Structure 1
Amino acid sequence: MRIFISSARKGLEEERGALDGLIRALGHTPVRFEDFSAQTTPSREACLRALETADACLFLLGPNYGHVFPETGQSATHDEWVAAQAAGMPRLVYRKLDVTFEPNQHEFVRVVEAYATGVFRDSFRTAADLLPKVTEKILELASAPSPLAFAKLDQPPALHWTLDDGPGGLQTAGVATLLELHVMPLGSAGYSVRELEAFGHSLPGRVRATGIVGNDVPLSPSRSQNHMAVAVPASRPHSWDTPRPGQLVEIRLYKTGQLSARAMLPRDSMGSILDPNALPKQIAELLKFIGALNIITQDRIVVAAGVSEPATTSIGTFDPHRSRRTASFPLFGNPSALRTEPDESVTLAALQAGAEEVAGHLAQALIAHHPSAA
């Protein structure tokens, strides 16, 4: 297991050094910026790339906030928190006691505590105090069974399928084919008008906090009687035949408690692509994004996916560097939208550590139901 250690170095030198030896002694691999950067201020990009290779992230909250990167206006630890949260990565948080936090660090601690759903937190005073606590949690992580658990549904919930609504005025640059993903918490009473309004006000900020869109990307909130939504403008291609990767275009929260995301599929000059390799990755990213919004907290959820306009969508391999020259489309009729009809519920881990497994099932079902599938 690879464990990423995230913290400002100043004020936590002893703890960081002790954790390196401890993690190795337990048979795992520590990942620290000291090991891949000789800079006093580590490269933001290098830290985030290293974080992506980890299985868990360990955060130490000491007195200092750290160097602020002009790209985000945040420290490396703050950026790593956002990235780990968006990835649904297991996070262990330890706060140092009896120290005075810098103002920026104090605000960051408040962010961590506000978004701490499903996160283990503890405190420490010294390295000797910290190590036994970390040992216990690492052993627990290493021996934990799969966080996913499925259960058969007596009856499927009434989902709202946005692909029945059409593009709905989204800024998709003329692309009608959309992937949609729905998450419905079981046992939810839904939201009152007041509660939905409050979520609507916080939704743009929640979307930005996941790191899925930059601070310079304009978001477009909207509302209806039964949902609040935020649209994300689609990037414009350099030319008509420029390949375009999949991209989030909308998030919706319904009064019923359902949370839905719509996204463009990967696309080239031949049209939208159901790529057996890219599709499960895109769905997993959307599942983790929905989890990182910190809206759904119920223990069990139902997940479903769909694709609009299969007649203009083909099964193939997406190449970000060049368009395909041929593609196979359905030969007859105008097939209806693809959708997975859920018959099982799953634990909340589907929005975190279990996202890849659930995404694999959904992607396989969508591709198998495509009219041109063999």
Structure 2
Amino acid sequence: MIFISSARKGLEDERDNLDGLIRSLGHTPVRFEDFSAQSTPSREACLRAVESADVCLFLLGPYYGHIFPETAQSATHDEWVAAQAAGKPRIVYRKQGVRFEDAQHAFARIVEAYATGVFRDSFSTTTELMIKVAQKVRELESAGSPLAYTKLAEQPALHWASDHPAHGAVNTPGAMVELGVLPLGFDGYSARELEQLGVSLGDRTRTTRMVRNDVALNLTRSEGVVALRVPVSRPQSWDAPQSGKLAEIRLYKTGQLSVRATLPRDGLGAILDPDALPQQIADLLRICGALNIVQADRVVVGARVSATALTSVGVFDPRQSRRSSQLMGFNGSDRVFQTEPDESVTLAALGEGAAEVAGYLAQTLIMQASR
């Protein structure tokens, strides 16, 4: 399924011809023009379609489109953010020979600055667009993994928030999973750059749709790091199951971007679930990509679990708590399991390659914990 995203005004002919082309290529096109009457608002229906699409095709024409009061963005802008967060392959084409309005210029800069393997090209006529889209769809059909790994000469030093409890507390009980993304070949941020990015971190986080607009975010600063803390709601009863929740985003002066989240838990404690952990880590990787901060071609990715004495390897059921669990058997209040990166990977790890990278990271952590 290929989702077609753009303002219709100024791109009417292109949108209508893409519908037939995509069908002729053996795929199903999805456009807002084709949505039948639904119980959900049209904006939500479009965003759900983005999340279920195999590929998202974005056309940049002269007009930005209607701005929704809920997000202060156009539908295409919302769909771009949703596709980023979901790690969807994106094909982007910009129309030449037309005058972009100011808001569309600003949006185009966002799209064209995002360096995670997005296909960007241009076209002047509808015929030229049809030829290029057909070629690109065929390429995607035959493409393999978007990831490429390179062995590291030496292991990089990643920052771990849990190593610094004095300024690492997130006021959230229970075990945590932490993900660190370090760009290679990056000289780090100046104090001014780090401050500017810190100020924008709240808005960037809300655009990922992982945090509701009415949730209060707390930005803190210490030497060489800014941290955005997300309050995690507590379950209504002590034994109610609760899925893992985003708890904190950190940006270091070195350029490292880190995210922390709680592990799923129920009345018997936190759970390292071999099925749920890869999905949670993949979501955290996609959040890192959707924040649109890391711009290097290659990154080093590491993961850590800070486990409490009540953490166990098991199966998380969001409907009911377990009746028994097998604790890991270590003494003390917590214990750390972490990966030791010896390879760099292309930036697709923060998008369409997130699931593949997350699978290896989660497997490594589960194996350590199971011992």
User: Is TM (by shorter chain) over 0.5?
Assistant: yes
Give the match for residue 261 of structure 1. 259
Give the match for residue 142 of structure 1. 141
Give the match for residue 326 of structure 1. 324
Cα offset for 1:13?
Answer: 3.3
Change in CA separation of 1:154 and 1:129 when aligned onto 2, cut-off 3 Å: closer
| 3-state SS in 1 of match to 2:88 | coil
* Segments of 4+ moved more than 6 angstroms: none
Alignment of 1:201-240 (within 5 A): 201-240=199-238
| 3-state SS in 1 of match to 2:335 | coil
Give the match for residue 62 of structure 1. 61
- The amino acid of 1:157's aligned partner reads P
Change in CA separation of 1:239 and 1:102 when aligned onto 2, cut-off 3 Å: farther
Greater shift after overlay, 320-329 or 118-127?
118-127
Q: Does 1:286 align with 2:284?
A: yes
Change in CA separation of 1:64 and 1:187 when aligned onto 2, cut-off 3 Å: closer
- Distance between the aligned counterparts of 1:8 and 1:191, measured in 2? 36
Which residue among 294, 297, 302 is the counterpart of 1:296?
294
- Distance between the aligned counterparts of 2:51 and 2:142, measured in 1? 22
| 3-state SS in 2 of match to 1:309 | strand
- Distance between the aligned counterparts of 1:68 and 1:35, measured in 2? 21
Mind listing any 5+ residue stretches in structure 1 that lack a counterpart?
A: none
Mind listing any 5+ residue stretches in structure 2 that lack a counterpart?
A: none
| 3-state SS in 2 of match to 1:336 | strand
| 3-state SS in 2 of match to 1:251 | strand
Greater shift after overlay, 69-78 or 186-195?
69-78
- Distance between the aligned counterparts of 2:79 and 2:115, measured in 1? 15
| 3-state SS in 2 of match to 1:308 | strand
RMSD after superposition: 2.5
Cα offset for 1:192?
Answer: 2.5
Give the match for residue 170 of structure 1. 170
Q: Does 1:121 align with 2:120?
A: yes
Quick one: percent identity of the two aligned structures? 65
Give the match for residue 84 of structure 2. 85
Alignment of 1:13-162 (within 5 A): 13-38=12-37, 43-97=42-96, 99=98, 105=104, 107-115=106-114, 118-162=117-161
Give the match for residue 360 of structure 2. 361
Change in CA separation of 1:181 and 1:25 when aligned onto 2, cut-off 3 Å: same
- Distance between the aligned counterparts of 1:361 and 1:43, measured in 2? 38
Deviation readout 1:262-315 (Å, 9 max, x if unpaired): 111111111111111111011001011111222222222211111112422111
How many equivalent residue pairs?
A: 368
TM-score for both structures, normalised by structure 1: 0.89
Cα offset for 1:332?
Answer: 4.5
- Distance between the aligned counterparts of 1:164 and 1:24, measured in 2? 54
Cα offset for 1:70?
Answer: 4.6
Give the match for residue 251 of structure 1. 249
Give the match for residue 315 of structure 1. 313
Change in CA separation of 1:113 and 1:349 when aligned onto 2, cut-off 3 Å: closer
